[in-house]
Amino acid sequence: MKVHAIQLRTDLNEPIEERVERAAALVAAQRRADLVILPELWVQGGFAFDRFAHTAQEIDGPAVTAMRNAAVASGIWLHTGSLVLRSPGGSLRNTALMIAPDGSIIAQYAKRHLFGFAGGEMTVLTAGDDLVTVDLPWFRAGLSICYDVRFPEMYRALLDLGSEVFLIPAAWPERRIAHWSLLIRARAVENQAFVVACNGVGKQGDVDLGGYSAIIDPWGATLAEGGCDEEVLVADINSKLVAKTREIFPVLRDRR
């Protein structure tokens, strides 16, 4: 299968409507892909916490509708990255969606680990509770978002639910990009799973997003890696490699 990771630029001086239109056009252009993924909070901006209450959208709002239409136009499975969604009860959640080629929403994941050390996301968002996997035609995918990657126990739990690939959208800052690159590779190696990690780029206030999205195989080999600019990463993934890796080097059997 072919995976495309769109390392989208998010600058807060760009109107949301224009960014959604631009992102939808990029997604619709990925007709050669099987699966496309976008970064975290590319709609609202990963560090625009003070705007979330105003910029949050409903699941039937313009951003999700545009993504559903783009998935249909390109005939692909689309991981929307994440966006701030308002629940029927009014709470705000950092939510990732998986959209099928027919435009239907087949999975939702609300970020469990909120970043901010008593500030930031924690002040305006409600954390999710659920572990979420989704069965795609090629494999079972475990869903997580950005800061989650610092919590390896979550990925062990997703592994125990049958995950063979982890899909990780992020809005990871440039100043800690070395941690990003280390952690996403660690999650691949320790779980013998593919990792598709899609970070954003752009300037949000005084924060520069770091890019360096990557697609990593179960041995920790990098199949594709981005730089610091907007670009589309492309990699071919052989879903049989997960089972083969776990058979050749059966480290997971030795867990205690």
Catalytic residue among 18, 21, 111, 121: 111
Catalytic site includes residue 111: yes
Look up the domain containing 165 and give its range.
2-254
| pLDDT, mean of residues 131-155 | 98
HEC states along 183-242?
A: HHHHHHHHHCCEEEEEECEEEECCEEEECCCEEECCCCCEEEECCCCCEEEEEECCCHHH
Catalytic site includes residue 146: yes
Of the listed ranges 22-31, 36-45, 61-70, 204-213, the least confidently predicted one is 204-213
Catalytic residue among 40, 121, 164, 198: 40
The chain-wide mean pLDDT, for the chain, equals: 97
Number of folded domains that form the chain: 1
What is the CA 55 to chain-centroid distance, rounded? 20
Residue 206: the pLDDT is: 85
Strand partners, 69: none
Q: Categorize the per-residue pLDDT at 204 as very low, low, confident or very high, splitting at 50, 70 and 90.
A: confident
CATH code at position 238: 3.60.110.10
Catalytic residue among 121, 146, 164, 198: 146
Per-residue pLDDT tens over the stretch 53-77: 999 999 999 999 999 999 999 999 9
| pLDDT, mean of residues 124-137 | 97
Per-residue pLDDT at 29 exceeds 90: yes
Per-residue pLDDT at 97 exceeds 80: yes
